[in-house]
Amino acid sequence: RPIDAQAAEPTPSFFTAGDYQGCISGGRSLVTVPSDDWSPLLWTASLTDEVPLAQAPFVYPDGAPDKKAVFGTSGRTMFDVLGQAESNGTQIPVTDQLRVSVIGDLLYWNAGCVLLTHSANNYGALRQELVNLLGQPTAYDDVDVWQAHLS
């Protein structure tokens, strides 16, 4: 079957103005939300710098005997929590244990920033969950950005 072509979203000024560079200095990665959105891959492909994206979506086997393929990201706590907010707008109460687990994910990815696209499904619920976990973001034209202060 033919695949219908769709126009890509414009690249946010966060990338075109070079603001992303502060997120990836020192070998840090950029964590994009939602995790199964291909847009950040397109936005960063046009840049001269390599932009390491943590948990970029990919196709991988689910490990079951029927060998089904899964499109998405491999299960880290942060994306399990955010996946619920995205799919049905449900907020998960943030506990100290959850916050420690999410910080562990950010350390695992060597994250410099977490970026939420304004076009995400259930953007409001995702944003509020991230505010509960990480505090207030810096708002740009099409994205919200949280610095991952892990040092």
Mean pLDDT (whole number) for 105-132: 92
Q: Is 45 helix (H, G, I), strand (E, B) or coil?
A: helix
CA distance linking residue 4 with residue 32, whole number of Å: 25
Mean residue pLDDT across the chain: 84
Distances (CA, A) of 37 to 1, 78, 93, 136, 139: 23, 15, 25, 22, 19
Beta-strand relationship, 143-147 and 111-117: antiparallel
**Tens digits of per-residue pLDDT, 43-102?**
787 776 788 888 655 565 666 777 776 655 556 788 888 888 888 888 889 999 999 999
For residue 106, pLDDT beyond 90: yes
Mean pLDDT (whole number) for 101-106: 93
Q: State the pLDDT at residue 79.
A: 82
For the question of whether the overall pTM of this predicted structure is more than 0.85, the answer is no
